């Protein structure tokens, strides 16, 4: 990425909440992670292919939707 300067000038935080053992905090963190993955997918060339291959727990094309249990191609890693 340094060679391509694809992220030059990008200074957005991926996470800004403290992880607590609390359902609301956990959901907030998950929501922020999903949003960050979507941003990377939009901004970084070829990131969509990597995300499609490795991040299978969420449908990153359709905001607000998770894949139904048992429909992931491989165990979720993201």
Residues 6+ apart with CB under 8 A from 47: 40, 41
Number of Cβ within 10 Å of residue 60's Cβ equals: 19
Check residue 58 and give its pLDDT.
Answer: 77
Question: Rounded to the nearest 10 degrees, how much is the dihedral formed by the CA atoms of 77, 64, 71, 40?
Answer: -40
Which of the two residues, 59 and 75, has the higher pLDDT score?
59
pLDDT per residue as tens digits for the range 36-67: 899 999 999 899 999 888 888 777 777 665 55
pLDDT tens-digit map of 5-34: 666 676 665 555 555 556 666 677 778 888
Look-up of token digits 């991926």: 14
Q: Greatest CA span in the chain, whole angstroms?
A: 40
HEC string for 15-38: CCCCCCCCHHHHHHHHHHHHHHHH
């Amino acid at each position: 990425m340094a060679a391509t300067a694809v992220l030059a000038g990008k200074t957005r935080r991926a996470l800004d909440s403290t992880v607590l053992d609390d359902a609301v905090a956990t959901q907030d963190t998950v929501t922020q992670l999903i949003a960050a993955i979507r941003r990377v997918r939009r901004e970084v060339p070829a990131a969509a292919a990597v995300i499609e291959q490795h991040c299978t727990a969420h449908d990153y094309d359709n905001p607000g939707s998770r894949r139904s249990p048992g429909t992931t191609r491989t165990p979720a890693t993201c």
